Structure 1
């Protein structure tokens, strides 16, 4: 039997692809921009903070990455259509959609209001659904397939004792959306998957990496459940992301990829 003819050199190639990054200025959003941009993808970056978006755009331009900035969040049909239209105008279509945005509102359920719960659900679930709907319709019309990547969390699978009822619920919903659209769009050659990180280094988690008694105690308690024995780094998310955005994942859809050092395995 001869060796299979596998083009390993092109498996992870995204050069020239049109990629929308929603929530581009966040910690994971910047990982997405750096990973796809440096791999040759042409970006549409979106976020609600105009100044942060402009700063990111300038940084990408300095790095030689093609990027068009759209100062919108996926808060409704008009916003989502405008984001997709920007990709079509700039690059002629949409090949990749990454939803890197999201919020949390920590509070024990007795202290949360319905409004606070709904805000988390809107940002993490409805926004993702609306953006996927707009981009997916365009991908289907183009007839060349596509890649959709949601951001889930280990908390979509596991509960948390410290007031995560809104966040865990929202991420479980993202997991369900991933599976539903993976089934619905498979016939169109569109794969839909999610990356589910646990703690990784970012401005929000920087305190956990510090050398003081409180950080050490929290970190050690967390690491007791992480088989690889360390917290995550931004580059730990880059590999799974590139896999899910390239043809290497053409036979993978509806999956939740846990980038967690084995946290959810035990």
Structure 2
């Protein structure tokens, strides 16, 4: 006897779970929302852009999900507490947190004002910390564990010559939060992990998938360092997300999961 489950696919079920997703109108947030919606989760979606949020929420409802929309960003203690309170008011609990909100601001360090650096750090680091804190309090009160999934990047591990000091620093800090909280909450049943993609298809990167000279030259140079030999697609993030949001990952915490086609391995 190996002890392997007789129904291993059941380990990946999130049916009926309540998931908060911040930055739900963004590329990763929308993938997370639609993936969890299709898997049967109940959703609380937040984003700063109400119109774009409504589009994602409608797509999730078409997939059969119950959805609560909150137009706003997790940019203060009060805002984060209010998001969690709304989830509890609507659905009675919180089981999953996906922090997909964030930003980048590319500039050489000698040309970047300190305020711009701090703005990136606030969006990527402070908001991840505040949302984890607010959702974690609720999960701890429930006493049944939970799943926290933060948004990192291959740039949390690797530098970039094009003016990424703010972004790289912020994602390294997200990695630190992930590891520290994984240790802190380990005994409670709350797992904390991060997904760290490299370039994948989104409105911001759509140009890299084109056929013009700039796209083909840039893509060829980048893919020379990607063992899988292609850029990422949204579906490449769905599987890792479902794993980290479900019982299948109960023994995994404090990990940075690189969705990068092997980019960080070489």
Partner of 2:110: 110
Which blocks of at least 5 consecutive residues in structure 2 are unaligned? none
Which blocks of at least 5 consecutive residues in structure 1 are unaligned? none
Runs of 4+ that moved beyond 3 A: none
Partner of 1:75: 75
Partner of 2:264: 264
Q: Which moved more, 1:43-52 or 1:3-12?
A: 3-12
Q: Which moved more, 1:191-200 or 1:207-216?
A: 207-216
Partner of 1:210: 210
Does 1:48 pair with 2:52?
no
Is the Cα–Cα contact under 8 Å of residues 23 and 101 in structure 1 kept in the other structure? yes
Partner of 1:85: 85
1:118-138 Cα deviation digits (max 9, x unpaired): 000000000010010000010
Partner of 1:10: 10
Partner of 2:61: 61
Is the Cα–Cα contact under 8 Å of residues 38 and 60 in structure 2 kept in the other structure? no
| TM-superposed deviation, 1:54 | 1.9
| TM-superposed deviation, 1:5 | 4.0
Q: Which moved more, 1:167-176 or 1:60-69?
A: 60-69
Partner of 1:234: 234
Is the Cα–Cα contact under 8 Å of residues 33 and 56 in structure 2 kept in the other structure? no
Alpha-carbon distance between aligned partners in 2 of 1:111 and 1:102, rounded to the nearest angstrom:
21
Partner of 1:200: 200
1:188-213 Cα deviation digits (max 9, x unpaired): 10000000000000110000000111
TM-score under structure 1 length normalisation: 0.98
| TM-superposed deviation, 1:113 | 0.5
- Give the 3-state SS of the residue equivalent to 2:12 in structure 1: coil
Is the Cα–Cα contact under 8 Å of residues 72 and 83 in structure 1 kept in the other structure? no
Q: What is the CA RMSD across the aligned residues, in angstroms?
A: 0.8
Q: Which moved more, 1:182-191 or 1:58-67?
A: 58-67
Alpha-carbon distance between aligned partners in 1 of 2:9 and 2:228, rounded to the nearest angstrom:
29
| TM-superposed deviation, 1:59 | 2.3
1:91-143 Cα deviation digits (max 9, x unpaired): 11000000011100000000001100000000000001001000001000000
| TM-superposed deviation, 1:231 | 0.4
- Give the 3-state SS of the residue equivalent to 1:176 in structure 2: helix
| TM-superposed deviation, 1:252 | 0.3
Q: How many residues align?
A: 265
